Amino acid sequence: MRKTPNEALPRVSVAEFKNLSKHPVVLVLDNLRSMHNVGAAFRTADAFAIEKIYLCGITAQPPHREIHKAALGATESVAWQYHENTAGLLAQLAEEGWLAVAIEQAEGSIMLQAFPFKAGQKYALVFGNEVSGVSEEVMGQVQTALEIPQFGTKHSLNVSVSIGVVLWEYCRQVVL
């Protein structure tokens, strides 16, 4: 077996990507402190062709060298917008028909693999701060919380890893 050379992979240009039909999913990054995680979120959002990223609170915004290092140019392809207040953004998204879903260990959370993602439903996936998670104020505004099953001692995953796991499960259920 041999690796496929990058030149042989089917890729679209940034302009073509911007015109592609996107999956009705947005990421809401609630006070992320690591620019590497922000960059990784952009790269993953590009890979799964989601609609947009909302950067909220203290979450850093492009352009920045540390974001670019992990994003590898995805800040140019993925639509994004800054909102100072995550709770205010979620209220706006709810009015537009988005289902707000926190990715968090919480009372009444649903294990990711048991959650039935539905085609046509618009999802606002909320990912929280690397230390404190999704804020309590924001947890009061989400319709549900999804939890990624874990079996080790740490009871947490890096937020960029969580984004990849959740977007993969969405695509596995709805797209593939």
Q: Find out whether 58 and 33 touch, Cβ atoms under 8 Å.
A: yes
Ranges in the chain, pLDDT < 70: none
Contact 149, 112 (CB under 8 A): yes
Domain ranges of the chain: 20-174
Indicate the DSSP class of residue 74.
H
Give the CATH class of 20-174.
Answer: alpha beta
**pTM (predicted TM-score):** 0.96
Write down the pLDDT at residue 155.
87
CA distances from 157 to 19, 58, 152 (A): 33, 20, 10
pLDDT tens digits, 35-82:
999 999 999 999 999 999 999 999 999 999 999 999 999 999 999 999
DSSP symbols for 83-94: ES-HHHHHHHHH
**Cβ(162)–Cβ(41) under 8 Å?**
no
